[in-house]
Amino acid sequence: MTRNWWIDNLRSFITLLVVAHHSTLSYTTFAWFNKDAYITSTHPIVDTTRWRGLDIFVNFNDIFFMSLMFLISGIFVVSSLQHKSISTFIRDRFYRLFIPFMVGVTLLMLLAYYPAYYIAHGKHDIKAYIIDFFTVEAWPVGPPWFIWVLFLFNLIFAVCYPFIKKALHIPKLFLTWYIISWLVYVPLAVAINPEAWTGIGPFDFQISRMPLYFWYFLLGVIIGRARDIFANGAAFVKKWPLWLVTSLAVFVLLKLSETPLLAMVERHQLSLLQATLIYRSIWIFSCMMSCIALLTTFKSITNSWWKSLSANAYGIYLVHYIFVIWCQYFLLDFNLPALVKALITFVVAVTLSWWVTSLIRKNSIIKRYL
The 3-class secondary structure across 66-96, one letter per residue, is: HHHHHHHHHCCHHHHHHHCCHHHHHHHHHHH
**Phi and psi, residue 196, nearest 5°:** -70, 140
pLDDT tens for each residue of 252-297 = 999 999 999 999 999 999 999 999 999 999 999 999 999 999 999 9
Domain assignment of residue 356, yes or no: yes
| Averaged confidence pLDDT in the chain | 92
Domain assignment of residue 8, yes or no: no
Structural domain range at position 355:
17-187+194-228+302-369
- In total, how many domains does the chain have? 1
Q: Is the pLDDT of residue 304 over 60?
A: no
Q: Is the pLDDT of residue 228 over 70?
A: no
Domain assignment of residue 271, yes or no: no
Q: Which one-letter amino acid corresponds to residue 256? A: L
Q: Nearest to residue 73, comparing CAs of 215, 173, 246?
A: 215
In angstroms, the CA 349 to CA 345 distance is 6
Instruction: Say what the pLDDT of residue 170 is.
Output: 66
Question: What value does the mean pLDDT take over residues 196-221?
Answer: 94
pTM of the predicted structure, to 2 decimals = 0.93
Instruction: Say what the pLDDT of residue 227 is.
Output: 65
Q: Is the pLDDT of residue 2 over 70?
A: no
Report which DSSP code applies to 200: E
- Rounded to whole angstroms, what are the CA distances from 123 to 79, 116, 164, 218, 353? 52, 11, 56, 47, 27
Domain assignment of residue 152, yes or no: yes
pLDDT tens for each residue of 96-118 = 999 999 999 999 999 999 999 99
Beta bridge partners of 204: 199
Domain assignment of residue 265, yes or no: no
Domain assignment of residue 288, yes or no: no
Cα dihedral across residues 131, 132, 137, 143: positive or negative: negative
For the chain, what's the residue count? Answer: 370
Q: Nearest to residue 173, comparing CAs of 222, 139, 130?
A: 222
